[in-house]
Amino acid sequence: MERSLVELLAKKRDGDALSAAEIARLVQSYMEGSFADYQMSALLMAIFFRGLDDAETVALTEAMLHSGRVLDLSSVPGTKVDKHSTGGVGDKVSLCLAPLVAACGVPVPMVSGRGLGHTGGTLDKLEAIPGFRTEIASERFAEIVAKVGTCMIGQTREIAPADKRIYALRDVTATVECIPLIVASILSKKLAEGIDGLVLDVKVGRGAFMKDETRARALAEVLVRVGTRAGKKVVALLTDMDAPLGCAVGNANETREAIDVLHGGGPADLVECTLALGAEMIVLGGKAATTADARRLLAQAIARGDGARVFEKMIDAQGGDPRVVSEPTRLTVAPVEVVVRAPVGGFVASVDALAIGLAAVVMGAGRARADATVDHAVGISVCAKPGAEVGAGDALARIHVHAAADAAAIAERIGGAFVIRPEPGHGPSPLVRERLGA
Ligand code: URA
């Protein structure tokens, strides 16, 4: 006889593995209303303490994925590959990465999120482009990916609705920090894009969701194993998020820096992150045999301006002003610039990504609550990255605000994010700490 839902709850509470059919029934019953919020909360807590094995995590991912619609990209030829970052400060990689990878022949369908707390979101950066729309119907999304090579949209109500409801419960039941639940949450949304391959950028460090390297590696390992068992090609890179990525923080500011990368410029760490992730995507997409070959293709796409052209076409297709790519000064910037100066000379030992991200939220560039709006024009530009030598009075950062009165407290906060030592340290930590996957 079929067990009742309460018996299934007791099964997990007692540490036994649930079958795929049982997990599917629990999620479906929750979505239909016959398994209540308080029962799902109890299940989440049981999972928090008892864990899920890989088969259960695959089953939960698939149950959440099939709670909504899987985008149909069968009309788009080729192996479709996306990237997902667990989020950080100054992480504008998607904006330059997707057009570059698409220019190398790999279609990139991308469903992105908004910033929350100290981490920024791709949609907010894209919406700094005048007219740009991130709400696009799924048929049009497939058309744009087929025609341009990439399209970047926001999550619709049809994509993994179970994740949205379960995440809201996790948020208020202290069950967010649970690796199988994080994996099912991330992968259910990504697999709904209709992709064949996924490259994960698992950030680790002060400004990351996972601050500890052991936990970040454990998350990356489960993401790769579960994604692979779900039938996708998956690679993960563990990348540094102790300091902000690149120099620009804030929406229009970050979009400008991503455009800079498309034109062959940009800070070294941002370029390296883009090339490292892009090379993995191109190999998964079957357009190069090795990451070294893929890097050559990416370098060519930058040098010939192919990535910039794809970005222009994508912006145009999504209702934005494509002229921002050749004329980035068209992007908004707040009128008052204040320079944060080094109090002493020496070497920058660290720049605290979390402190910079929180300062950006206070300035209005990020949101403390999911329903808040963001100011695209304000931003911070880090002038001295870890390892840099500075003299007393040199610029550590520049901030852009609407009024000088807004600046003093922010400038003090940002100054506090820099540690300056008299001796040179080891310089910046390597950007890619580890690679996991096939
Ligand atoms: N990001 C997600 O999408 N889900 C989680 O559970 C955590 C981070």
Q: For ligand 1, is residue 98 a contact (CB within 6 Å)?
A: no
In three-state secondary structure terms, 162 is: helix
376 is catalytic: no
Q: How far apart are CA 30 and CA 101, in angstroms?
A: 39
Q: Which residue in 85, 94, 185, 188 is the catalytic one?
A: 185
Over residues 242-300, the pLDDT tens digits come to 999 999 999 999 999 999 999 999 999 999 999 999 999 999 999 999 999 999 999 99
Q: Which residues have C-beta within 8 Å of that of residue 128, sequence separation ≥ 6? A: 251, 252, 255, 331, 332, 376
CA 125 to CA 23: how far, in whole Å? 37
- Ramachandran class of 282: left when φ > 0, alpha when ψ lies in -120 to 50, beta otherwise: alpha
Residue ranges with strand state E in 179-240 = 197-204, 233-240
Give tens-digit pLDDT for 129-178: 999 999 999 999 999 999 999 999 998 889 999 999 999 999 999 999 99
Q: What is the mean pLDDT of residues 230-235?
A: 96
Amino acid 429: pLDDT: 80
Residue nearest to atom 7 of ligand 1 (CA): 182
Arithmetic mean of pLDDT over the chain: 96
- Catalytic hit among 189, 256, 367, 400: 189
* 367/61: higher pLDDT: 61
* Burial tier of 305 (Cβ tally within 10 Å: 0-12, 13-18, 19+): middle
For atom 1 of ligand 1, the residue with the nearest CA is 186
Distance 272 CA to ligand 1 centre (A): 25
**Atom 2 (ligand 1) nearest CA:** 186
Contacts of 81 (CB under 8 A, 6+ apart): 101, 106, 107, 108, 195, 196, 197, 198, 199, 233, 281, 284, 285
Residue 208 near ligand 1, beta carbon < 6 Å: no
User: CA angle at residue 94 from 307 to 140, to 5 degrees?
Assistant: 80
CA 70 to ligand 1 center in whole angstroms: 19
Q: Dmax of the chain from CA atoms?
A: 77
pLDDT of res. 181: 97
Residue of 57, 170, 176 best suited for mutating to test ligand 1, as the one with most atoms within 8 Å of CB: 176
* pLDDT the model gives residue 427: 73
pLDDT of residue 426: 78
Three-state secondary-structure class, residue 38: helix
Residue 232 has pLDDT above 80, yes or no: yes
Ligand 1 midpoint to CA 179 (Å): 10
What integer pLDDT is reported at residue 59 of this predicted model? 98
Angle subtended by helix axes 251-262 and 93-103, to nearest 10: 30
Q: Is 420 in the pocket of ligand 1 (CB under 6 A)?
A: no
In the block, which residue shows the tokens 């067990």?
3
82-118 pLDDT, tens digit per residue, is 999 999 999 999 999 999 999 999 999 999 999 888 9
Tell me if 155 CB under 6 Å of ligand 1: no
DSSP readout, 304-322?
A: TTHHHHHHHHHHHHTTS-T
The helix/strand/coil state of 283 is helix
279 ligand 1 Cβ < 6 A: no
Please name the amino acid found at residue 94: S
C-alpha 178 to ligand 1 mean position (Å): 10
Q: Whose CA is nearest to atom 3 of ligand 1?
A: 186
Q: How confident is the model at residue 370 (pLDDT cuts 50, 70, 90)?
A: confident
pLDDT in tens, 24-58: 999 999 999 999 999 999 999 999 999 999 999 99
> What pLDDT, in 10s, does the model give residues 415-431?
999 999 999 987 778 99
- For residue 397, which of 333, 346, 435, 343 has the smallest C-alpha distance? 343
Between the CA of 93 and the centroid of ligand 1 the distance, in Å, is 19
Rounded CA separation 138/146 (Å) = 12
CB 310 within 8 A of CB 323: no
Average pLDDT estimate for 208-224: 96
Residue 181 CA, closest ligand 1 atom number: 6
Q: Report how far ligand 1's centroid is from the alpha carbon of 163 (Å).
A: 9
pLDDT given for residue 187 in this prediction? 97
- In the predicted model, what is the mean pLDDT of residues 209-214? 94
pLDDT band at 183 (very low <50, low <70, confident <90, very high): very high
> Looking at 25, 80, 84, 400, which residue is catalytic?
84
User: What is the pTM (predicted TM-score) of this model?
Assistant: 0.96
Cβ 184 under 6 angstroms from ligand 1: no
Residue nearest to atom 5 of ligand 1 (CA): 182
Q: Catalytic site residue 189? A: yes
